[in-house]
Amino acid sequence: MNAIQPEAAQPQAIYLKDYQAPAFWVDQVKLDVALDDHQTRVISTLSLRRNDQREAGLPLVLNGQGLTLKRIELAGQPLAETDYQYQEDLLTVARVPDQFTLVTEVEIDPANNTALEGLYKSNTMFCTQCEAEGFRRITFFPDRPDVLTRFTTRIEADQQRFPILLSNGNPIERGELDNGRHFVTWEDPFPKPCYLFALVGGNLQAVKDTFTTMSGREVALEIWVEPENLHKCDHAMRSLKASMRWDEQTYGREYDLDIFMIVAVNDFNMGAMENKGLNIFNSACVLAEPKSETDAAFQRVEGVVGHEYFHNWSGNRVTCRDWFQLSLKEGFTVYRDQSFSADMNSAPVKRIEDVAMLRTAQFAEDAGPTAHPVRPDHYIEINNFYTLTIYEKGAEVVRMMAELLGRERFRQATDLYFERHDGEAATVEDFVACMAEVSELDFSQFMRWYHQAGTPKIEASGHFDADARTYQLTLRQHTPATPGQADKLPLHIPVRMGLVGPNGHDLPLELNGEQLGTETVLHLREAEQTFTFHNIAAEPVPSLLRGFSAPVKLAFDYSREQLAFLMAHDSDGFNRWDAGQRLAVLALQHLVNQIQANEPLQLDPALIEATRTLLNGEMTDKAVLAEMLRLPSEAYLAEQYEQVDVDAIHKARSFARKALADALYDDFLRLYKVNQRVGDYAPEANQIAERSLKNTCLGYLMAREDEATIALTQEQFNCADNMTDQRAALTLLAHAEDPRLGAEPLRRFGESWAHDPLVMDQWFSLQVTRPQADALDRLKMLMAHPAFSLKNPNRVRALIGAFVGQNRVNFHRQDGQGYQLLADVVIELNRLNPQIAARLVIPLTRWKRMTSERQDMMKAQLERIRQESLSPDLFEIIEKALA
Ligand code: ARG
Ligand code: ZN
């Protein structure tokens, strides 16, 4: 039955165009929080002042969600029930003076807060998550980022259970109370929006260190964790100090408080949160130790620690005027953390990884029902907008501006931005205005990158005229329609390029009588533009979009020979990799055609030869070599089709892997052996590169599942002294055609790591990403495992997220059972944790590109979810999916 909701119950959209400055400022807030599992009491004292920019006599309206109001006093006088109203998450006081104090006392129930927004319990500790709109679940407040306030926070709790009580800023007072309770008072000297508020209470221990800033101030650094995790903090501490130094050297930004704290919590919706002076992290993004975490985890920790630290300037000192500006802080900060990781590790590999992710996951988002601009103009639930588009595409847009300005002027522009808007809530326009001012470039057309959704496509074609000695390059751009945006305007697209001559060297570029050296950036502004290069003696191969200079799809009709040529000779490392990917895509698409036509399969010999050249070549950068050996993912291949045949793509890719292994067995084996380390494990760039290369080779070899390779893999599993090698081997065994190969190692691994939830997450993931048809049954079995819980987001992501996101053939099973299982889980999570539910459902919303039987089954599950009483989060996504 279709339960028809009354019109008013439907969540309403909020529009950027309706923005108005706040009616009241909060000069100061004093919080008094008495922690209790079910009856936490919060007394807040707000010093309010009317905003004289707004019309006179406006009522006071504060946000408050799920609060039990116990007391309310204005200027020291209790308010009569007729003087205020608490309805639909708003507290309204109609008549208030221009300046006054408001005291409210509320009660909340953290132990029953499964949404993990506001104040909640994670195991035995209390913690908070306020971004975007969680603070309203703690107390009444103007919960919007443009109200900046000085916070003083007194926390009181049972001393035995919660010896450690933390909040933002500096501790100014502490003491013992009756009944075994104690308190600590924290004061944050920097005015901040309430989304940056944080509070923690628990039985925690810290790893401590210090950092001396560039002006010589000493900052105390503390990483607080549950005692069993103390040995997993060293890498995060190293990363924190490296981040602090890097931001000084690269952006001239110094830390501003005397203490910087990180807390690890097990139950967390996202990766981490940049609360002023008190970052709160998902334990998966801060804990790392060689025996239990992989190289990838080490790099994730470094990146996320950097990201949150960098927010202290790009986010905290300069914050956002409203949530439509989210990419102002997130896009910029991702760009900053990407540059940091590039400087700390292999820069080309970092770029390859970031682009690979953007081109699969973000492009898919931009082409689906939830597509939105980097700066959206409306939303129903802001939590749905912490997306790859806001974060990753937003970072690409900042990267393009950095490219357009060049290193020095970009730095001048960011200096200007930080100085001009320090202590303010800014907009995307403010940021771009600094870029324009410093560079004197015109960014008006460029602003369309913020307004238009969808991935632009550039069709490039070249014409060589031997007599005229010219090469004409024509670029045509087009951005496809996205929901709510039918017509798109041409964007300003920087296309970095070169022309590679027959001898493999870049040719000198002469354009409009100007000598441009051997590489240049073309500015594509029109729907179609032709660039004519002069004095070109022989037909070149164009190398376009070097370094992935813009987040677009670039099509050029390269021959396989040209791609192999670019793979070997392009002076741009990124484009060498990309040429290899293009060659592999052609070969895999050819196999897909053969599969669909029921023809015998044969892998393109050009791909085999190109791979042979790689394996036997002189490539010294092992990290890049490993990337170049990797075939494009099934998700990326799917992106190449309007109608996706998941089974054929999977079959084609598996066939290609095995064919490469058969043809190049000796080479893979030799490279595997050469890269077996002697000496101690360290998570540093050279070793990471070797392990990556070695395990890539082992992966190919195991595609054959021959006796010798099985023995090699088993030996690696048994003897590894680090999780990277052990997990790589375990994954290969668990994904083997023969289910017996994985059984025993999985059992042993599961038993020996039962005490460590982060390792159990890996154990869950690698079982449900098994491509064989029994994966769904295993998933169901594992959902009943004692270590699994729907209430923990990491467990949900490790098990269900991994299955629907990384096991395409099984999620899209032809009997529809994958869809049904996801819908079941989403319906349950809708009640427990709306944010996680709305994220998890996304793969189901992408039904348009599947074959028609699958479309029907997917839509049927979406309809089934729609029957429920939905949170705004899920309501918004489901409506878009079925629109
Ligand atoms: N600002 C945090 C970060 O990117 C993410 C917070 C996400 N919160 C949310 N409710 N979606 O570092
Ligand atoms: Zn962020």
The 10s digit of each residue's pLDDT in 723-776 is 999 999 999 999 999 999 999 999 999 999 999 999 999 999 999 999 999 999
Question: Does ligand 1 lie within 6 Å of residue 337's CB atom?
Answer: no
One-character DSSP codes across 561-612: HHHHHHHHH-SSHHHHHHHHHHHHHHHHHHHHHHHHTTPPP---HHHHHHHH
What was the pLDDT predicted at 2?
43
Q: What is the mean pLDDT of residues 607-636?
A: 95
Take atom 3 of ligand 1 and give the residue whose Cα is closest: 273
d(CA 352, CA 663): 27
Specify the ligand 1 atom closest to the Cα of 307. Answer: 12
Task: Count the alpha carbons within 13 Å of 168 in the hemisphere toward its beta carbon.
Answer: 29
For residue 269, how far is its CA from the centre of ligand 1 (angstroms)?
A: 9
6 pLDDT band, cuts 50/70/90, is very low
Q: What is the mean pLDDT of residues 418-439?
A: 98
Question: Does ligand 1 lie within 6 Å of residue 383's CB atom?
Answer: yes
Task: Count the alpha carbons within 13 Å of 812 in the hemisphere toward its beta carbon.
Answer: 27
What was the pLDDT predicted at 678?
80
Question: Does ligand 1 lie within 6 Å of residue 382's CB atom?
Answer: no
Mutate to test the pocket of ligand 1, among 192, 265, 273 (most ligand atoms within 8 A of CB): 273
Residue 545 reports pLDDT greater than 90? yes
Contact residues for 761 (Cβ-Cβ < 8 A; gap 6+): 284, 794, 795, 797, 798
For residue 330, how far is its CA from the centre of ligand 2 (angstroms)?
A: 5
ipTM above 0.90, yes or no: yes
Question: Does ligand 1 lie within 6 Å of residue 361's CB atom?
Answer: no
620 pLDDT band, cuts 50/70/90, is confident
Question: Does ligand 1 lie within 6 Å of residue 131's CB atom?
Answer: yes
Specify the ligand 1 atom closest to the Cα of 132. Answer: 10
Beta strand pairing call for 68-74 and 99-108: antiparallel
What was the pLDDT predicted at 618?
83
Contact between residue 333 and residue 314 where contact means Cβ atoms under 8 Å apart = yes
Take atom 12 of ligand 1 and give the residue whose Cα is closest: 273
669 pLDDT band, cuts 50/70/90, is very high
Q: What is the mean pLDDT of residues 4-20?
A: 80
pTM above 0.95, yes or no: yes
Question: Does ligand 1 lie within 6 Å of residue 810's CB atom?
Answer: no
Question: What are the phi and psi torsion angles at 204 (to 5°)?
Answer: -120, 160
The two three-digit tokens of residue 773, written as one number: 């048809």
Percent of the chain with pLDDT over 90: 98
Which of 419, 602, 441 has its CA nearest to residue 523?
441
For residue 146, how far is its CA from the centre of ligand 1 (angstroms)?
A: 17
For residue 479, how far is its CA from the centre of ligand 2 (angstroms)?
A: 28
Catalytic residues: 308
Q: What is the mean pLDDT of residues 439-455?
A: 98
| Exposure string over 14-25, b if 16+ CB within 10 A, otherwise e | beeeeeeebbbb
Residue 790 reports pLDDT greater than 50? yes
Contact residues for 703 (Cβ-Cβ < 8 A; gap 6+): 654, 657, 658, 660, 661
Contact residues for 741 (Cβ-Cβ < 8 A; gap 6+): 705, 710, 733, 734
Query: What are 182-203's pLDDT values in tens digits?
Result: 999 999 999 999 999 999 999 9
275 alpha carbon, closest ligand: 1
Take atom 11 of ligand 1 and give the residue whose Cα is closest: 383
Give the length of the chain.
Answer: 883
Amino acid 653 reads R
Amino acid 668 reads F
Q: What is the DSSP letter of 550?
A: S
What's the distance, Cα to Cα, between the start and end of the chain in Å? 20
Question: Does ligand 1 lie within 6 Å of residue 132's CB atom?
Answer: yes
Specify the ligand 1 atom closest to the Cα of 304. Answer: 12
Domains observed in the chain? 29-203 (2.60.40.1730), 204-316 (3.30.2010.30), 318-450 (1.10.390.10), 457-557 (2.60.40.1840), 558-704 (1.25.50.10)
**Any long-range contacts for 79-87 (C-beta under 8 Å, 24+ apart)?**
none
Specify the ligand 1 atom closest to the Cα of 308. Answer: 12
Take atom 2 of ligand 1 and give the residue whose Cα is closest: 273
